Structure 1
Amino acid sequence: MDNIDLDSLIYLTILGAAILGWFIAENREGLGKVARMMLAWGLIFIGFIGAYGLWEDIEGDLLPKQAVVEDGTAISIPRGRDGHFHLTLQVNGTPVDFLVDTGATDIVLTLEDAARVGLDPETLAFIGRARTANGEVRTAFTDLDSVTLGPFTRQNIPASVNEGEMPGSLLGMRYLSLFDRIEISGDQMILEP
């Protein structure tokens, strides 16, 4: 232990003793109750320290990383807590959250996401139709200037904008098929360029 750490430890010990002494002096009549409260708060503090120390070990289970690029040869996507695969892609330079939907053909943007990536929903021609679980909706076809996932950027990608209500944008097979290999193994989806 070098001098800086030893000096800090001595200072913190003296400070802690002073605070403890003041606390005992102020609460000398109900010392038993104070001791129980101090023990409870001490255990809570120790619990927080333990959780902080274990955070790196449990973070992957609680908050899975979006995608991991493995040696530039593959992208590994963990299954979300809801059982689906989720990705955040840069669309025209703007991050957009997607639900990976292997049952969808296109990249399908919500009206809100379309506006965020620079598409004006007022100027889109909603001439297409799509059948959804909520009935038939109108769609507009467009091209996205760029779509980036990790180190992989694709240009001029066809997409649709859904005029109906959607909980989020969908990433369909038109984008996924740009990868040479798609594999779902356990709780991982692996994309290889």
Structure 2
Amino acid sequence: MSSWDLGSLVYLGLLGSVLIVWMIVSNRQTLGRTLQQAMGWVLIFLAVIAVVGLWDDIRRTAMPGRAAVATEGRIEATRAPDGHFYLTLLVNDAPVNFMVDTGASAVVLSTKDARKAGIDITDLAYTGRANTANGMVRTAAVQLKRIGLGPVTDRNIRAWVHQGEMDQSLLGMSYLERWGRIEITGRTLVLER
């Protein structure tokens, strides 16, 4: 704690003490009710401080795909509290949240996200197989008309629809390798073209 912080803390302590003494002296007749109201304001004040202090964590947890900053040819994403990077891409003009997965060889859509992107999953032929941490799963190859990430749009991307239960679509290397540079530095993922 610096001397400036210590001085500020002492000042705020003295100011708070003066306000408390003034409140007690001026409200001697209704002290119980005044203390109840004061405690209510103290709790509101503490709640506001907690929300302000935790706002970045709340924002990243509630909207992990929105923690990306896009400029011309450059995307920066912040690591989510679970240790992964998430990006929201436009797939056939529909927003789809992806987990960035450098261990996945391709773009893999959950059935829910495939429907969202306008793919009719009832007509798909699940002839492919993928080896996952949960064992072998069946997949169907699809061609995505457009994938957009920030100012960058790619066309005719091959992807796979996962037939089983999948919480999150995966942004694998078949898309990531289109970027000229992929770098992970601390809590930041950088994609550049």
Q: Shorter chain as normaliser: what TM range?
A: 0.7 to 0.9
TM-score, normalising length from structure 1?
0.77
Aligned equivalent of 2:67: 66
List per-residue Cα deviations over 1:107-139 (Å, max 9, x = no partner). 100111111111111101110011112221110
Question: Does the 8 Å CA contact 1:126/1:138 hold for their aligned counterparts?
Answer: yes
Question: Does the 8 Å CA contact 2:113/2:169 hold for their aligned counterparts?
Answer: yes
Distance, in Å, in 1 between the alignment partners of 2:164 and 2:154 is 27
Question: Does the 8 Å CA contact 1:130/1:136 hold for their aligned counterparts?
Answer: yes
Compute the RMSD of aligned alpha carbons.
Answer: 1.9
Aligned equivalent of 1:32: 31
Contiguous gaps of at least 5 residues in structure 1: 1-23
Q: SS of the counterpart of 2:122?
A: coil
Distance, in Å, in 2 between the alignment partners of 1:163 and 1:129 is 10
Aligned equivalent of 2:43: 44
The letter of the residue matching 2:36 is M
Distance, in Å, in 1 between the alignment partners of 2:179 and 2:45 is 48
Shift of 1:50: 4.5
State the number of aligned residues: 161
Q: SS of the counterpart of 2:121?
A: coil
Question: Does the 8 Å CA contact 1:89/1:148 hold for their aligned counterparts?
Answer: yes
List per-residue Cα deviations over 1:124-170 (Å, max 9, x = no partner). 11100111122211100011010010111101111000101111100
The letter of the residue matching 1:163 is Q
Shift of 1:35: 1.6
Q: SS of the counterpart of 1:63?
A: helix
Task: Quickly say closer, same or farther: Cα 1:113–1:130, change in 2 above 3 A.
Answer: same
Question: Does the 8 Å CA contact 1:67/1:76 hold for their aligned counterparts?
Answer: yes
Question: Does the 8 Å CA contact 1:66/1:88 hold for their aligned counterparts?
Answer: no
Q: Percent of pairs identical after alignment?
A: 42
Question: Does the 8 Å CA contact 1:105/1:173 hold for their aligned counterparts?
Answer: yes
Question: Does the 8 Å CA contact 2:104/2:170 hold for their aligned counterparts?
Answer: yes
Q: SS of the counterpart of 2:44?
A: helix
List per-residue Cα deviations over 1:11-70 (Å, max 9, x = no partner). xxxxxxxxxxxxx9xxx7xx3321210110121233355557xx3x75334424521124
Equivalent runs, 1:1-193 vs 2, <5 Å: 31-48=30-47, 50=49, 55=52, 59-64=55-60, 65-70=66-71, 72-193=72-193
Q: SS of the counterpart of 1:122?
A: helix
List per-residue Cα deviations over 1:69-115 (Å, max 9, x = no partner). 24x24111100000000111110011111110000011100111111
Aligned equivalent of 1:5: none
Aligned equivalent of 2:7: none
The letter of the residue matching 1:46 is F
The letter of the residue matching 2:164 is G
TM-score, normalising length from structure 2?
0.77
